[in-house]
Structure 1
Amino acid sequence: MYAAFYSGMRDMKTKLIEAKDRLGGRMLFYPEKMIWDVGGVTPILCENLIRQLEEQARTFEPTLVFEQQIEGLDRQGDGTFLLTTACGEKHWTRTVIMAIGYGIYKMAKLELEGADRYEVTNLHYTVQELEPFRDKHVLISGGGDSAVDWANELEALAKSVTVVHRREKFGGLERNVLRMRESSVDVRTPYAVDKLHSISGDRIEQVTISHVETGESEMLEVDAIIVNHGMKSDFGPILDWGLNMGEWHANVSEKLETNIPGVFAAGDFVIYGSKLHLIAGTFTDAALAVNSAKLYMDPEADKVAYVSSHNSRFKEKNKALGVVE
């Protein structure tokens, strides 16, 4: 979304193609999660950040295409690219910026026999609303950012919060991990969820957790379980394009160039020497990728866009806002 906005600042004709039916990518999994680390933005609900990013992305009226997953990339005789979608639609372009995260996301499931039967009741892989967990005994399985964040969000709302993680070290931001450990959250490490128990047959009432080293087990009463074991990703046919790929990321230059001339990438999809894996870092990635795409098409162009206060693209828009320059 930010790449679409910044592309407009560079006066480039822009088309944003999205596989889902709405914008937001991975953030759509956590609409009620509070985002604290975007520069100049006070703590904001993820769903509100998505809304603001989408509004910004539409500033220069890019073409938006939804529910089309790109499968084919073919360079034409004139140097342009033909993009082919899974539904057969075709798109032509001079450059491509890949901001695809980890591809098609699927939540990593709890690998216990019969666990899937509780997904319609009290086994959750994401949290759309906080209120249903009020005054409940909540167990969270996982140790990444999301597990830590949900523990902190629910600590004051739920009757109790227990976090079970198979390693001593958590993958969340240090300050958030410290906040969790200093709160009333019951942190159990190194433990893993071993068994689910149901008396009613349709809900989980108890959980057995086991120490991963000693095997010692304990049974806990629960009203709800949240599983945050990360995501499984699928890049699909993109892996056949000839990109220089690592295990999880595309290897790019500091200018966000892939090994395919004219194809650039940004965000969670990429890795390079100074890569910052934060939402704030993706904004820089997006701008760098757009600048590189601009220079690829026009080597004589300015290397970067003028700041908004000096960018001619905003003169009329400022007038519409009643700003006198």
Structure 2
Amino acid sequence: MLSENSKLYDITIIGGGPAGLFASFYAGLREMKTKIIEADNRLGGKVHVYPQKMVWDVGGQTPLTGRELINQSIEQGLSFSPTVVLEQVVTTIEKKNDGTFLVMTTKGVIHHTKTVVIATGSGGIIKPMKLEVPKATKFEEENLYYEVFDVNDFRGKSLLISGGSPTSIDWGNDLAPIAKDITLVYRGDDLKGLEATKTKLINNGVKILFNTQIHELIGINKINEVVLYNNKNQEIFNVKVDAVLVNHGYHKNNPLLNSKPLGLELTEHLYINGNSAGHTTIPGIYGAGDCVLYDGKLQLIAGAYQDAANAVNSAKLYIEPDAHKVAQVSSHNNILDEKNKKYLYR
């Protein structure tokens, strides 16, 4: 087993979504040696599920896309140059006799830290369910999509959407104004969404085929035709497409909370039993964001920012009981003087 025991961090943040990234920034304000461990190969967290959607409820921000929010969150979260570890899944945490923690990952790496902030989100690791037909993987680099990164990828195109979830309906409604035409196929006999959004889908001219699923993808370098199968009348037929967008649900897994490290107290649905100061039932381990529940919890990204700051402040006091309870506000914090010049005088 590999080890990083020689590198002791003040705080290790598990999860690189909005809560984890803001915790990283705030830990920098508190002059803490910080590490972020993210299971995915990129930072940003669950916002990657809806990069094309408009986010209106972040304080002080005009509406921005999920993608813009990700980019800005990453820029802010890396302000103080934390160590970032990607593609490592944390499985458990152990406490040493000296009160520090060992954070274990599936890659056999041990991360040594004085405190831990768990910010894994409500679903933990979220991966889209892949389309299970021959050659699907081949086309993922071309015109088979599982996410809408940029609505302009579908401008003027004949698009096939596979799936009957609210997300599929949203995609249809969001892309209808710019796509050439859209066909939505679903293996069931009714879509899983609000009546208003389903009616909007029809009014937007989206063609809906029930009891229908993708049987085969046809093309050399790109998909140019899809073979569809009607599971009710056993009919097989083809449609020409420029792009295919799939939402068949998501695999969700949170190995860390499943392991209940150090006897961490969780709710029935694997949320951390915490409080508004970020405390968990284990001193030195704190929680922030959607993975935590407590009275008065705000299930918004804005709430995740408060959780993150509170968790970092609690971690700082755990390490240094005589430290200030909170960081000095950023507008008057001397630690930001050099960084401010980049924005003031650019």
2:27 corresponds to 1:27: no
2:327 corresponds to 1:305: yes
Distance change (3 Å), C-alpha of 1:119 and 1:66: closer
Q: How does 1:50-69 map to 2 (within 5 A)?
A: 50-69=70-89
In 1, Cα distance between equivalents of 2:176 and 2:245: 13
In 1, Cα distance between equivalents of 2:130 and 2:250: 9
Correspondence for 2:124 = 103
C-alpha RMSD of matched pairs (Å): 3.7
Superposition deviation, residue 169 in structure 1 = 4.3
Alignment partner for residue 6 of structure 1, among 26, 29, 48? 26
Which runs of 5 or more structure 1 residues have no equivalent in the other structure?
Answer: none
In 2, Cα distance between equivalents of 1:41 and 1:178: 30
Which runs of 5 or more structure 2 residues have no equivalent in the other structure?
Answer: 1-20
In 2, Cα distance between equivalents of 1:272 and 1:116: 46
Q: Return 241-250 or 95-104, whichever deviates more.
A: 241-250
Say whether the 8 Å CA contact 1:18–1:66 is kept in structure 2: yes
Correspondence for 1:283 = 305
Alignment partner for residue 292 of structure 1, among 314, 328, 337? 314
Alignment partner for residue 156 of structure 1, among 174, 177, 183? 177
Alignment partner for residue 46 of structure 1, among 66, 77, 82? 66
In 2, Cα distance between equivalents of 1:207 and 1:311: 62
**1:42-95: per-residue Cα shift (whole Å, max 9, x none)?**
333433322222221122222223333323311111111112233333222121
Residue identity in the other structure for 1:250:
I
In 1, Cα distance between equivalents of 2:258 and 2:62: 38
Q: Return 72-81 or 223-232, whichever deviates more.
A: 223-232
**1:157-201: per-residue Cα shift (whole Å, max 9, x none)?**
123346668466449xx9xx599469515497xx96544355959
Correspondence for 1:317 = 339
Say whether the 8 Å CA contact 2:172–2:201 is kept in structure 1: no
Partner secondary structure for residue 226 of structure 2: coil
2:196 corresponds to 1:196: no
**So what's the TM-score if we normalise by structure 2?**
0.72
Q: Return 123-132 or 301-310, whichever deviates more.
A: 123-132
**So what's the TM-score if we normalise by structure 1?**
0.76
**1:201-241: per-residue Cα shift (whole Å, max 9, x none)?**
9742446487xxxx9x9x99673553334322122254221
2:288 corresponds to 1:266: yes
